[in-house]
Structure 1
Amino acid sequence: MRGLSAFPITPSDADGVVRVDALQRLLRPLVDARVHSIGLLGSTGSYPYLSRPERRRAIEAAADEVAGRVPLLVGVGALRTDEAIRLAQDARAGGAAAGLLAAVSYTPLTEDEVFEHYKAVAGESGLPLCIYDNPTTTHFRFSPELIARLAALPGVAAVKLPGGEPQALAAQMADLRARVPADFALGHSGDWFAVEAMLAGGEAWYSVVAGILPQVCMDIVAAVRAGNATEARRLNAALEPLWGLFREFSSLRVVYEIAERRGVCAAEPPLPVRRLPEAARQRVAAVLDGMDPALLR
């Protein structure tokens, strides 16, 4: 749960059946680029829309494709604690190295309820967990105090934080680092925030775009690790046209379009989510056509 974690889509048919061949085609470039982990069944992978059997199908297909070469971080979020436990057990049995657990809710949750949820899933599944703080979708925001409580639990090993304003990131990272064990990993999502988050001390980048364009993301991580902030920011700036599309249309819809435009797979997102309208699809095509081919490896 450090370095670059690449989050691919999960291609499925209209009935929600995972298309194994298409998923494996998406994973091959990630393995070839030597990403540090693959974030299977994350939000980009549409985990809330897939049944338990289809989640198992995706895990089995991914495990067969990566063959132990890249660790799998598997989304195990569910509304019910007992269901999340079963999903985490499935992930562990299927070969996942860790689970990504969001505080999925309908009735708003309290901090104590979320704490007990994580304690149960970690304790009963035996799968190391990464806290998934995704307030945009779950409507629950993890406080620093709650992250510290959870970090003290056996089996809770990392946190995936949402992006934030660059000027606030260093203070946020310093505050969290002072609260959690030294081996607890701090990472961020929100691709356009990632460079500044890593420069501020973030240890992981949980990336949507790395699920379809892994090499440029690996180049960014390498630049950060080498202390070359100028190069990391240059590459990030070159991707700004994509970030603009992500912000306007959602990264999920845009990545489905990129996957088709690049000939990796043609797939529809799970209903009721729909593909971009034609005018937006043409904008994605124009952005891709205008990008330096070196960024599209």
Structure 2
Amino acid sequence: MFSGLSAFPLTPMNEHGLDEAAFARLIELLVAANVDSIGVLGSTGNYAYLTMVERARVLRLAVEHAGNVPVIAGIGALRTRDVLTLAEDAQSAGADGVLLPPMSYQKLSADEVFGLYETVAHELSLPLCVYDNPGTTQFVFSDELHGQIAQLPNVASIKIPGVPGDAAEARSRVDRLRAQIPSRVTVGVSGDGLAANGLNAGCDAWYSVIGGVFPATALAITRAAQAGNAQEATRLSERLQPLWQLFSEYGGSLRVVAAAAELRGLVERPCLPLPLKALSGEGRHRLAELIDELELS
């Protein structure tokens, strides 16, 4: 489950509530594409903007429509109490694994972060993926802390930020982390523009934003890397450089993939919780052209 392509779909919504029909369509799109797993209620899934009740509903919809594709449920919350409730919801709903970031408002210490994972890991009956995303959590893991957390029961994967662009530096970065963690714990890369580098450097999984709306495109990169064809994986990723540039220009991937889902007719407009807004204006026009030019699917 914590290997190959893990596709992270949007949770489409507006100020009136969740768009359950659109969410189900997104899940079914990923199932039809044969992704390796589906990650719901991550950053792309806007978990931080949903109530506990809404999150439970999203998760149950995902499990209901995912068929035999494993579902990984995000359980991040400000309070450990709420994380434990979300973990129980995931277990009750039939999720196959959970994804936990050290979410905070007050900046957390390394001791506090370890305590979070220690508490949750001992309460779980599902495998857990550590979500290392300093861009949203403002917490930077050391490899040593990853190593300590990876020794806990039920910890099965670590989702790291994008690796360096240089192939040798990327391999060195992955190797340093692997030296700290048990062999049973997989390493997955995020940061879509550098995912091919991560896979070629030995990462087991790509936790992918574009996989949630363009699964075939993401799968082509993943399968090339898994087959040992690093050159082809790199070529396919470099071909998408105009898309990666849009991510950079507009503050990350969320606004871009939300607009892409709207342009593809997968969701209604608007599909993000205010004050967030999908790409508009010139950026949206460029994205529409890229979808056709790059044959994103």
TM (normalized to structure 1)? Answer: 0.95
Unaligned runs of 5+ in 1: none
Q: Shift of residue 290 of structure 1?
A: 2.1
Question: Is 1:216 aligned to residue 217 of structure 2?
Answer: yes
Identify the residue that residue 126 of structure 1 maps to in structure 2.
Answer: 125
Alpha-carbon separation, structure 1, partners of 2:115 and 2:231: 43
Give me the whole-angstrom Cα distance separating, in 2, the residues matched to 1:127 and 1:92: 7
- The range that moved more, 155-164 or 265-274, is 265-274
Q: Percent identity?
A: 46
Is 2:87 the counterpart of 1:88? yes
On the 8 A contact 2:163/2:173 being kept in 1, the answer is no
Q: Partner amino acid for 1:182?
A: S
Corresponding residue number in structure 1 for 2:258: 256
Question: CA offsets per residue over residues 196-238 of structure 1, 9 Å max, x none?
Answer: 1111110010000000110121111111111111211121122
Q: Would you say the 8 A contact 1:18–1:57 is kept in 2?
A: no
Secondary structure of 2:156 counterpart: strand
Q: What are the Cα deviations for residues 239-279 of structure 1, in whole angstroms up to 9, with x where unaligned? A: 11111111111211111111111111124211111222322
Deviations 1:32-67 (A, max 9, x none): 111110010110000000011100111111111112
Residue aligning to 2:248 = 247
Counterpart position of 1:226: 227
Q: Which amino acid aligns with 1:183?
A: R
Which residue type is aligned with residue 275 of structure 2?
Answer: P
Between the aligned partners of 1:110 and 1:51, the Cα distance in structure 2 is: 26
Please name the residue that 1:278 is paired with: 281
Deviates more, 1:244-253 or 1:279-288: 279-288
SS at match of 2:23: helix
Aligned length: 292
Partner of 1:65: 65
Q: Does structure 2 retain, via aligned residues, the 8 Å contact 1:6–1:37?
A: yes
Cα deviation, residue 5, structure 1: 0.3
**Within-5 A mapping of 1:1-297:** 1-15=2-16, 17-67=17-67, 69-167=68-166, 168-249=169-250, 250-266=252-268, 267-291=270-294, 293=295, 296-297=296-297
Q: Deviations over 1:67-98 (max 9, x none)?
A: 2x110111100010010010111011111111
Once the 2 structures are TM-superposed, how far is the Cα of residue 285 of structure 1 from its aligned partner?
Answer: 1.3
- TM-score by length of structure 2 reads 0.95
Could you say what the CA RMSD is over the residues aligned between the two structures, in angstroms? 1.2
One-letter amino acid of the structure 2 residue matched with residue 66 of structure 1: A
Give the distance between the partners of 1:231 and 1:54, measured in 2 at CA: 41
2: CA distance, partners of 1:122 / 1:86: 13
C-alpha displacement of 1:31: 0.6
